């Protein structure tokens, strides 16, 4: 097969579930231990295998809130729009378990304050983030300010035209570099007040993945193909070494390990430990059978 003896397996320092996701899954499981009608508003995380595991515990995905009359609804880590939240809590037959990550909550509170405070109200609010991301959509809904604009990248910042001062808030999963560059551009033409609400979990995973990818012959990135943060990790790793993005152990092929000395393993913030462990075990088996 051409496998070299003594294949080294290294795991990234920061890999897998972040604090917010861990907390949301715990809340969902604890609720399901006590109640039988438990729903998540959309998939609780972007990991099909973990969602399936939770389904076995009777934690179901709800796509339309009008379809249920009672039960508990778990709100996802990136939050939901303000009006939807208000509508849900009005229904006394439904128990709302708010698993919005505290870091996201903090950004929502800032958005709300900026739209209430008299001085801040006069300024345009810029959210640096992805326009279509549920977190950004929810953040916008927390502002009554109709002068609220999303900027995704430096090019958009350069083309941004408005008069007056700015308040700038970040999506929690923004890369610090993109945020900083956008702020620098906006500062050239405006007085700005910056609210850095970036959570370090994403950045830490990216940094560790990059460092590891630079030191190994092959990287395996584990996580949902529908997970934005896992896909980004795979992109970062492939810029540095041969990389495979897999969802489960089933995709691993023995020939990947031909003629290499070392393999690195990392996983997105929505990948549970049990999947990472299965992958690690399989790679170890392959290296030992050699």
Active site residues: 135
- Consecutive H or E run containing 242: strand 242-246
Q: Kindly report the backbone phi and psi dihedral angles of residue 194, in degrees, each rounded to the nearest multiple of 5, phi listed first.
A: -105, 130
Closest CA to 267 of 282, 258, 278: 278
Closest CA to 73 of 86, 87, 59: 59
101 is a site residue for ligand SF4 (CB under 6 A): yes
Q: Which of residues 142-171 bind ligand SF4 (CB under 6 A)?
A: none
Provide the minimum distance between the beta carbon of 269 and ligand SF4 in the complex, in angstroms, as a whole number: 5
Question: For residue 183, what are the contacts with CB-CB under 8 A and spacing of at least 6?
Answer: 128, 168, 192, 194
Provide the minimum distance between the beta carbon of 42 and ligand SF4 in the complex, in angstroms, as a whole number: 14
53-61, 160-168, 199-207, 247-255 -> range binding ligand SF4 (CB under 6 A): 199-207
136 is a site residue for ligand SF4 (CB under 6 A): no
Provide the minimum distance between the beta carbon of 220 and ligand SF4 in the complex, in angstroms, as a whole number: 21
Provide the minimum distance between the beta carbon of 259 and ligand SF4 in the complex, in angstroms, as a whole number: 37
The smaller minimum CB distance to ligand SF4, of residues 124 and 227, is found at 227
3-state per-residue secondary structure call for 57-73: CCEEEECCHHHCCCEEE
x-or-dash string of contact with ligand SF4, 57-96, rule CB under 6 A: --------------------x-------------------
At residue 100's C-alpha, the angle toward residues 181 and 24, to 5°, is 115
3-state per-residue secondary structure call for 84-103: HHHHHHHCCCEEEEECCCHH
17-25, 177-185, 220-228, 247-255 -> range binding ligand SF4 (CB under 6 A): 17-25
Q: Which two tokens stand for residue 268?
A: 């997105």
The rounded distance, in Å, linking the Cα atoms of 114 and 201 is 26
Collapsed DSSP state (helix, strand, coil) of residue 268: coil
Number of residues in contact with ligand SF4 under rule CB under 6 A: 14
13-21, 38-46, 66-74, 188-196 -> range binding ligand SF4 (CB under 6 A): 13-21
Q: Which two tokens stand for residue 110?
A: 């800032």
97-105, 124-132, 156-164, 252-260 -> range binding ligand SF4 (CB under 6 A): 97-105
- Residues of this chain that bind ligand SF4 (CB under 6 A): 18-21, 77, 101, 103-104, 172-173, 199, 201-202, 269
């Amino acid at each position: 097969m051409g496998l070299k003896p003594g294949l080294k397996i290294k795991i990234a320092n920061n890999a897998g579930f972040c604090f917010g996701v861990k907390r949301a899954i715990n809340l969902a499981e604890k609720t399901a231990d006590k109640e039988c009608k438990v729903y998540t508003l959309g998939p609780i995380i972007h990991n099909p295998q973990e969602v399936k595991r939770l389904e076995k515990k009777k934690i179901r995905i709800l796509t339309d809130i009008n379809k249920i009359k009672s039960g508990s609804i778990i709100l996802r880590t990136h939050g939901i729009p303000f009006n939807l939240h208000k509508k849900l809590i009005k229904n006394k037959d439904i128990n709302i378990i708010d698993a919005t990550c505290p870091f996201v909550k903090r950004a929502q509170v800032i958005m709300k304050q900026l739209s209430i405070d008299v001085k801040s109200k006069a300024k345009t609010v810029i959210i640096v983030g992805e326009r279509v991301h549920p977190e950004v959509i929810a953040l916008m809904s927390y502002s009554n300010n109709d002068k609220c604009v999303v900027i995704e990248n430096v090019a958009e910042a350069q083309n941004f035209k408005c008069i007056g001062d700015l308040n700038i808030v970040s999506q929690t999963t923004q890369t610090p570099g993109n945020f900083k560059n956008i702020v620098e551009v906006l500062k050239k033409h405006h007085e700005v007040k910056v609210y850095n609400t970036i959570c370090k979990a994403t950045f830490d995973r990216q940094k560790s993945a990059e460092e590891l990818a630079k030191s190994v012959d092959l990287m395996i990135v584990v996580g949902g193909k529908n997970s934005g943060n896992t896909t980004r990790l795979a992109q970062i790793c492939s810029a540095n070494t041969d990389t495979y993005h897999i969802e489960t152990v089933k995709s691993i092929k023995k020939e990947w390990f031909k003629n290499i000395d070392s393999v690195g393993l990392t996983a997105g913030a929505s990948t549970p430990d049990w999947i990472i462990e299965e992958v690690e075990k399989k790679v170890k088996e392959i290296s030992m059978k050699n």
